[in-house]
Amino acid sequence: MFVDRIKVFAQAGNGGRGSVSFRREKFVPKGGPDGGDGGRGGNVILRADRHVDNLVNLFYEPLIKAKRGGHGMGKKMSGRAGADKIVKVPVGTVVWPAKDEKRSTASSTPPEIDHRQSAIPVTDLARDGQEFVVCHGGGGGKGNVHFKSSRNRAPRQYTEGEEGEQGHFLLELRTIADAGLLGYPNAGKSTLLRKISAARPKVAAYPFTTLHPIVGVIEFPGYRRATVADIPGLIEGAHRGIGLGHEFLRHITRCRVLVFVVDIAGSEGRNPVEDLQNLRREIDLYDPTLSSRDWFVVANKMDLPGAKENLKALQERFPKLQILPTSAAKGEGINDLKQALATRITDPVESVSAAI
């Protein structure tokens, strides 16, 4: 199971209450108050971990609660501090505030939210090891030793511990990769990723689409490397959430380079020129800032009939655009693709977004 979006309820621990106690020892008359303070409650902490690749652990544990603090004791002994609850999440997790919508279970699929207009993220865990406290534990209460005075020699006052913070949060994974492969279903993105990296996404002789992003690592000469994400196939209207548009499009927001993979042979009955125009339009409608990212085109399936004629038409339509002819099935043009990625990722060049 791959989970990249989940709603959770987090509750920090309450602080322990203060103690009412008096010192009573032999040969110590009128020992006075010695009640200790309560311990603080535990925090709820999210920690980015590169060894975690999705949010499936929170699908089975959507209620996150930290331990409460211990109560104060006599002899001015403070209560034990509550243990923090540390939850490991993938690198690239964005945390949004969410409302309590009276759902049957907290693990139900949350509603779609237009983050660009409705909310400001709580935090963005973009680095391995980065931590963020989403809910702080409550402070411990005061024991009666704090209330003694010259006029109140035997105070019986104390304070309860403070309540820990709590709230509903929406956790959203946005894949971190240097480049993203975008295209219609069955354009050959998964096969390309298998050829250029050690990733092994599913490929088969029948039509289907990848259901979740898969990230591969490419090794370049000079001990350089880059990550490339296979973004599941987009369809027209993806920016409005048609199909699984929003589920897929958010994974490209961190990519420095966008690689548009088109079926240059038109084997699915579509026109490659229209495919590229539609893909660029969907990207721009979802987030206009993505149009300024560096990008180029991979004309895949050059081994099929009609590919050469369509490639010529695509080059005539976009003469300033870098178009790399490839055949992922036969391994042709893979070295050129790697070189283009190495040049743009390790030494980025100026975007050619004005080509369309």
Domain end: 148, 174, 200, which one? 174
Shared-domain flag, residues 161 and 183? no
Kindly state the tokens that stand for 344: 């743009």
Q: Are residues 157 and 183 in the same domain?
A: no
pLDDT band at 27 (very low <50, low <70, confident <90, very high): confident
104/343: higher pLDDT: 343
**Structural domain that includes position 190:** 179-355
| Greatest pairwise CA separation for the chain in angstroms | 105
* Residue 134 and residue 103 in one domain: yes
Whether residue 108 sits in one domain with residue 190: no
Q: Which residue has the tokens 């539609």?
A: 278
Q: What CATH number has the domain bearing residue 151?
A: 2.70.210.12
Provide the residue type at 39 as one letter: G
Q: What is the pTM of this model?
A: 0.74
Selected residue with higher pLDDT from 176 and 33: 33
Cα separation, 150 vs 20, in Å, equals: 18
Residue 260 token pair: 């548009």
Under DSSP, is residue 198 helix (H, G, I), strand (E, B) or coil? Answer: coil
Q: In degrees to the nearest 10, what's the CA dihedral of 247, 248, 254, 255?
A: 180
Domain count, the chain: 2
Tens-place pLDDT, residues 311-323: 999 999 999 899 9
Show Cβ contacts of residue 243 under 8 Å, excluding neighbours closer than 6 positions. Answer: 234, 235, 237
Give pLDDT tens digits for 292-303: 889 999 999 999
Using CA atoms, how far apart are residues 292 and 218, in angstroms rounded to an integer?
24
Pair 165, 191 in one domain: no
Q: What CA–CA distance (Å, rounded) separates 133 from 298? A: 43
| Per-residue pLDDT reduced to its tens digit, 102-116 | 543 444 444 444 444
For the chain, what is the mean pLDDT? 83
| Range of lowest pLDDT (29-38, 285-294, 326-335) | 285-294
Choose one of 174, 203, 218: the last residue of a domain: 174
Amino acid code (one letter) for 306? G
Same domain, 97 and 53: yes
Across the beta sheet with 44-49, the strand order is: 85-90, 44-49, 131-135
Rounded Cα gap, residues 291 and 294, in angstroms: 8
The pairs formed by 281-284 with CB atoms below 8 angstroms and a separation of 24 or more are 282/234, 282/236, 282/237, 282/238, 282/239, 282/245, 282/249, 283/182, 283/239, 283/249, 283/252, 283/258
